[in-house]
Copies of this chain bind each other. A is one copy, B any other.
Amino acid sequence: MRQPHITSAFDQDIDGLYSRILTMGGMVEQAISEAGRALESRDDERAAEVIRADREIDAMEDDINTAVVSTIALRQPAAADLRAVVTVMKMAGDLERLGDYAKNMAKRVPVLAQAQGVDGAGAALRRQSRLVQLMLKDALDGFARGDLDLVRDVIQRDVEVDQMTNALFREFLTHMMEDPRAITPCLHFLFISKNLERMGDHVTEICEQVIYLETGARPELRPKGDVTSQMTAEQGGA
């Protein structure tokens, strides 16, 4: 993570903060994975558990922010050390938002369990959520090991998530045009896919924080593949 040097009180604080970020990240990974499974298997119980667990993720963010503020107040870090604690706070914010999106996904499970099924939709969204979860896992590993190649690779993979969203938009729009009974479930699927696209953006932001932390430089321009704001059903039907 950082160069080894004589252990100070500040180092102990920052090690504690990093380990809390990794714990929080693990909780969010779990939430994304479980929300994806709940969606595919139309499992209300599993979805309810994701919603419940989100409170712990929120509490974790509060803990981290409190610890960051007290570290700054007590240790008065300068330069690189200050950058490290500020980065921790930003990462916690992104993780909290990722948890929120997973909760939102889970909230849609009960109404989808009642609605008409749409062939392959649950499986496709599960695959997309798996992609985001693996991006997050590698982003956290990259953070833990200071592995910039790995986090840069994660940033590139966000394009896949965007492309998957575009493809699913076309598919769900076609279903909606063909069968009015598919409108309700497809609408929820569209929101879930769009949320996953935004989740990919938050993982990208975490990666950018890691790059900033390690290099002190703002990261390169990120690739963008999401075109859903320009999409029409005419492009969809084909």
Residues of A participating in the B interface, judged by any CB pair closer than 8 Å: 62, 65, 68-69, 72-73, 76, 78-79, 82-83, 86, 89-90, 93, 104, 107-108, 110-111, 114-115, 173, 176-177, 180, 183-184, 187-188, 190-191, 194, 218, 229-234
Tell which of B73, B89, B176, B230 touches A107, judged by Cβ atoms closer than 8 Å.
B230
In the bound complex, do residue A183 and residue B194 qualify as a contact, i.e. CB atoms below 8 Å apart?
no
Q: At the interface, is chain A mostly helix, strand, loop or mixed? A: helix
- Docked CA distance A108–B231 (Å): 9
**A169 CB → nearest B CB, Å:** 9
Q: How far apart are the CA atoms of A57 and B62 in the complex, in Å?
A: 27
Q: How far is the CA of A173 from the CA of B176 in the complex (A)?
A: 11
Partner of A69 from the list B86, B114, B218 (CB cut-off 8 Å) is B86
Quick check: B184 and A234 within 8 Å, CB to CB? yes
